[in-house]
Amino acid sequence: MRTVSWSSLPSVAGVHTAPARVGGVERLIGGTPLIPLRRLTRGLRPGVEVWVKAEWFNPAGSVKARPAWFILRRALDAGWLRGRRLLDATSGNTGIAYATLAAALGVSVTLAMPANASPERIAILRGLGAELVLTDPDAGVDGALDWVQKQAEQHPDRYYWANQYDNPANWQAHYATTGPEIVAQTQARITHLVAGTGTGGTLMGTGRYLRAVKPEIQVVAVQPTDGEQGLEGLKHMPSARRVPAIYDARFPDRVVRVTAADAHATVLRLAREEGLFVGLSAGAIVWAALQVAAQLGTGVVVAVLPDAGYKYLSGPPWTRGE
């Protein structure tokens, strides 16, 4: 299977495609590899394949480089950042992507993140020079969003609120890049897309493109079993106080709910049986993809894995000595 460079992707009617580049680290965004699972898929029927899209190959180490670049470049092109700081709430990955690209482009960034975020993420953001505000850990990302919204309303001349949760550039980044890459890499053989729902951008954008190409595609959303599971990067939409505007609950064909225990166990299996050292949401997504694959007679299941596991070493499952 071949990879596709972002610059070679086709334009899509009605959707903004990849912004023009200026030649820095942003040139490395996209074209991430698609990797087959070989050992975790033993026991599946012979006509079933499971592939994972390794989004940690992006700059800043996650899938969020795609929407962060679309959001940031569109703001620059529109002049919204002239004399203002980029402002947003994050659980980690989007903030790191913003900070990475902003550092390369000379943009100032202010980010709000729950204070119980892993120390690795906090250290990375500070190392990249972002102004970081740590908010009430019990309020989660919703609390960080409350702080950001208040600052944006009180200081409109100081901040441009990027608002990744409601910004259509989020899902459009995946419509214009992730979807076409997967079609090309599978030679359009994909039958099932499995993606997590945090902001919903990956699922909505990639899924919309795939449905435009293959209307019969099955789109599977992955969420925690409830709002208390603590799976970083995934949101239990039914209990969320703020549901991202870019997410449409009617869009997925199916929602698979995952416990933290199953996600942790799958993270360990991916590391030790496939050589893939991934983050917690990636473990949840692969667990869901294997449940989907186990029900198929034939099919090509593609799971989008948001990031690697290096930002999570201070927490489970790595702190349990397993």
Q: CB neighbours (10 Å) of residue 153?
A: 10
Q: Which of 53, 64, 235, 311 is catalytic?
A: 64
Q: What is the 3-state secondary structure (H, E, C) of the chain?
A: CCCCCHHHCCCECCECCCCCCCCCHHHHCCCCCEEECCCCCCCCCCEEEEEEEEHHHCHHHECCHHHHHHHHHHHHHHCCCCCCEEEEECCCHHHHHHHHHHHHHCCCEEEEEECCCCHHHHHHHHHCCCEEEEECHHHHHHHHHHHHHHHHHHCCCCEEECCCCCCHHHHHHHHHHHHHHHHHHCCCCCCEEEEECCCCHHHHHHHHHHHHHCCCCEEEEEEECCCCCCCCCCCCHHHCCCCCCCCCCCCCCEEEEECHHHHHHHHHHHHHHHCCCECHHHHHHHHHHHHHHHCCCEEEEEEEECEECHHHCCCCCHHHCC
- Catalytic (active site) residue 281: yes
Cβ contacts of 209 within 8 Å, gap of 6 or more: 12, 174, 175, 176, 178, 179, 180, 183
Residue 62 a catalytic site member: no
Rounded Cα distance, 216 and 300, in Å: 13
Q: Are the C-beta atoms of 307 and 260 separated by less than 8 Å?
A: no
Candidates 53, 62, 91, 281; catalytic one? 281
**Residues with active-site annotation:** 64, 281
